[in-house]
Homo-oligomer: A and B are copies of this chain.
C-alpha cells in the first residue's frame, strides 16, 4: 500500500438520530434543560442559546459554544429527535454528552454518525 498523507481536521461533527424516545419532546423547557445539561457535562463554554417551541408541536434549539454548536430538532409525533454536536476542540467531552443525551431522552434506537469537518493537508 502506498503512503497516505495524514490530515488534520478542524472540527468534529456528531450527528445523532434518536428514535422511539420516551422523554417528553414537546416541552421546549425540558428539551432546553437536557441540551444545556449535555453542554455542561461536555465542559462546553456556552456563548448563547436559543430554543423555540413550535405550534402544535416540536422544539428547535441551538446552543452556540466557544467550541462550535449543539443543535436539536424534535418531532414529538414520531418520538424522534435529531441532535448535532459540532466541536472544534479536543477538550470537549463529546462522548460524555452523547451518553448523557441517551440517558435523558431514552431512545430505543440510536444512530451515531461522526464526521470530520475541515480536513486540511498536514
Identify the A interface with B (CB < 8 A). Answer: 10-11, 13, 15, 17, 47-48, 50, 52, 54, 60, 62, 64, 66, 68-69, 71, 73, 75, 78, 80, 82, 84, 86, 88, 113, 115, 117-120
Contacts and interface: CB of A to CB of B under 8 A. Distances in A.
A113 to B, nearest CB: 8
Q: How many copies does the complex hold?
A: 2
Nearest to A60: B64
Contact of A118 (B69, B80, B86): B80
Given A47-B52, A50-B50, A80-B120, A60 B69 contact: yes
Contacts of A68: 60, 73
A73 B88 contact: yes
Contact of A66 (B11, B54, B78, B88): B54
